[in-house]
Amino acid sequence: MTRFLGVDLAWAEGTATKPANETGLACIDEDGHVLDAGWARGTHAVLAWIDSMWEPGAVLAIDAPLVVNNPAGMRLCERETGNRYGGWFVSANASNLARPWQGGVSIRRGLEASGWTYTDGLSPVDPGTASFFECYPYTTLVGAEEFGYDDKRPRYKRMGSSLPPDQRRAARAIVCDDLIQRLWRLQTAMPPLDLSTHPVSDSLVTSHSPLLDRAYKHREDLIDALVSAWTASLWWHHGVERSQVLGAGDQASADGHRPTIIAPARPQQRRAR
């Protein structure tokens, strides 16, 4: 049974004096059972976890820039994110070689060295090959109808600035708890995700989202990892019928890597044909 991995990567790799932020990790199978879920810090720990989940044909989706060739500005896949999902209030941060955080690039190189294959989504991957691609959870939440975000993304990452400061954390927690309920209902989706099958993912449902920033970010990283794992499953099951490749027209680097984001998409979010 194929495994689907999701990694919500901390882009900054950390230093000897300042550890990296937490990275959320999740692995599910074709039935939506959560095989593992948790967190790690630093490139080496993340790579060790990924390799512990390896099996032939495994599919991994990583929320981080994996291929960065442009000296400045935004990558094409990031511009297309805003162009195609902007109506749902989704855009992407700029990634370029001038930015100091390149954790995704380091992870890609480490994965390739250990036998994983990077895919830009434009060419088929041998079914027996463990592969990985770049994803963006916001595009999954608004691009997959299963979540029900028909007009805008959920504000579970940042507190609404329109609210008084003493109300912002509580409002954010309510939005996050609602998102978790939507994840819970994926038990009957195709592909499925069953949060109840692992104690760490089940705890998202049995406890309310915390108000304090550190504890809240801990929970948010796990949510994004689970969404990323489900994105990998959606791509494996349905391919371009349910997803699109952002940045498909970008130039590949000398080693053949093209920076793309594989993003679930409704018909109205796709490029006009």
Predicted confidence (pLDDT) per residue in 89-101, tens digit: 999 999 999 988 8
* Backbone dihedral region for residue 148 (phi beyond 0: left; psi -120 to 50: alpha; all else: beta): left
CA–CA dist 53, 91 (Å, integer): 31
User: Which pLDDT score, from 0 to 100, does residue 126 have?
Assistant: 94
**pLDDT computed for residue 201 by the predictor:** 98
Q: What is the pLDDT of residue 253?
A: 85
Q: Which residues of the chain have pLDDT under 70?
A: 14-16, 272-273
Task: Reply yes or no: is the peptide bond before residue 191 cis, omega within 30 of 0.
Answer: yes
Q: pTM value?
A: 0.96
Q: What is the pLDDT of residue 272?
A: 57
The whole-number pLDDT of residue 2 equals: 97
Distance, CA of 126 to CA of 267 (rounded, Å):
28
pLDDT computed for residue 273 by the predictor: 43
For the chain, which residues make up each domain, given as ranges? Answer: 3-268
pLDDT for 15 equals 67
pLDDT in tens, 165-195: 778 999 999 999 999 999 999 999 999 999 9
